[in-house]
Each structure stands twice: as C-alpha cells, then as structure tokens.
Structure 1
Amino acid sequence: MIKSLKGHWEEFKESKPGERFKDRYHRRQQEPGHIVKRVVLVIFGAILAVGSLVTAPLPGPGFATVFLGLAILAGELLPAARLLDWSEVRLRLLWQFVTDVWRTSLFGKISLVVIAAILASGFAYFVYLLLFA
C-alpha cells in the first residue's frame, strides 16, 4: 500500500502545474473500481471540505483540511479537479509576486505585513459577525 501511495504521489508531482488534478482525475477514472467506493469518496470529500470551512476559524488544522477534502473530490469530480488546477496556478503566481516584493526592500516587507494584518483582521471580523452577531 505504501508503494502504491508513493507511486501515485510521484505521478502527481511529475504532472505539469495546472494539469495535476485533471491528470489525477483521468487516471482515477480508468482504474477499475466499485461505484460504491466512488460515491463514498465523494460524500467523504464533500463532508470534509464543507465541515472544514465551517470549523476553519476554530483552533486546529483549519484550511488545510478544506484542500484535502477538495483533493479527494478532485479524484472523482472533474469540476473539482479543474477548480484546484486553476487555483494552483493562481496561488503560484501570487506566491511568486509576494516573494519578489519581499525581496525588494524594507518597504516591500512592511507593505506585505500591513496588508496581511489588514486581511487577517478583516477575516477575524467576518468570523466574529458570523458567530456572534
């Protein structure tokens, strides 16, 4: 089982960014499998993703489990695979921009910290409104 997981991970890593989840979806569709297994995976992935969104503000793994649930869904549903491929490309671009700005100067670092603080406080306020208002 461990060898199988390592093999799947290597295939996933070797896929081109922006195509990884669609490739995984197509590989999963060609595997012989029982329909009940696929239905259970869709239900489990959906519960994990939605449940994690609801509990994200609480202490614990937070948004990491949302992406885990979406990754499970992406193996069984093409729209989820497309969403994750689209998101991966955008997040890579955002990360590259942030690292470029961070490396430029002290002003770039201060700007990023201020923007992160504003976004975090806005998120905290939104969660406060959802839970207590």
Structure 2
Amino acid sequence: MTGDTEGDLQRVRSWARWRDKLRERPAANFTYRIVVGVVGAVVLFVGILAIPYPGPGWAIVFIGLAILASEFAWARHALRFTRERYDRVMDWFKAQGMWVQVLGVVFTCAVVLATLWLFGALSWSANLVGIEWPWLKSPIGLGS
C-alpha cells in the first residue's frame, strides 16, 4: 500500500471506531442521526431544486443521498436506485440523435427561464439595466 492509501484506511478506521463508540450512547446516537438526517435532507432538497439549472444539480442530489446513506438503509437503496436510473437515462440520451439532444437543451432552457420569470429574477435583472417591461414581472408577485 502507498502512504496515502494507508492514511486513508487509518482515517476510515478511526471514524468507524468513533462512530461505534457513539452508537453505545443512545442519546448521542439519536442526536447524531437527527443531525445527519437534517443535513442530508437539506442538501438533497437543494440538489433537487438545482436539477434543471446548469451546474451540479444531480451531483448535489447524490451528495445529499450519500450523507443520508451514511446512517439510513433506505437512503442507501435510494442512492443505488437513483444512480442506476440516472446512468441509464444519460446513456440513452447520449445515444440519441442530435435533434433529441437539442430538444433536451431547449426544454432545459425553457424550464430555467420559466423559473427565473416566476421568481422575479428576469424583472429584477432587467431593472438593473433600466428595462421596465411589465411582462417580465413575476405573475405570482415574487421578486417585485
């Protein structure tokens, strides 16, 4: 083993020993699991919100599920299931012709623009440059 691999293995073992000691204390274990659940759920929720936008939406979803999977069996199953389906869909999408891929990009852009419009970001950014078109205002009153 190389030095880095041994160091990584020692860190994992150290973490496992710490976690085992924590499991022996019911109140601390319960608190730890609650904290992991809340943090994982928040990260997962942010990831789900970020999926339609350019950037790491799916990566954030997988990180949130991985955080939850560190303590919950259902999350391990959900992570495995989600990764398998994501990989299948991405393989299918890459195998499609250019028109399907272009439609995917157009649909993604439409979702991004629609949510930016609903949240009032289009009106706000237009106001920054002196444009005040009424149709840019959010129909639900956000960002006004």
User: Quick check: TM above 0.5?
Assistant: yes
What is the TM-score when the length of structure 1 is the normalising length?
0.56
Q: Are residue 2 (structure 1) and residue 11 (structure 2) matched?
A: no
- Listed one character per residue, the Cα deviations across residues 90-133 of structure 1 (whole Å, up to 9, x for unaligned) are 3444455567x4xxxxxx6xx1x332221121122112212204
Match status 1:79 vs 2:74: yes
Q: Which residue of 2 aligns with 1:89?
A: 84
Q: What is residue 26 of structure 2 aligned with on the other side?
A: none
Residue from 86, 92, 108 that aligns with 1:123: 108
Report if aligned partners of 2:51, 2:57 keep a CA contact under 8 Å in 1. yes
Tell me, which stretches of 5 or more residues in structure 2 are unaligned? 1-6, 23-28, 119-144
**What fraction of aligned residue pairs are identical, expressed as a percent?**
24
Q: Between Structure 1 and Structure 2, which shows a larger proportion of helix residues?
A: 1
1:31 deviates by 4.3
**Larger relative contact order, structure 1 or 2 (CA cutoff 8 Å, min sep 6):** 1
**Residue matched to 1:44:** 39
CA RMSD of aligned residues (A): 3.3
Q: Which runs of 5+ in 1 are unaligned?
A: 8-26, 102-107
Distance 1:126 1:60, change over 3 A: closer
Work out the number of aligned pairs and report it: 102
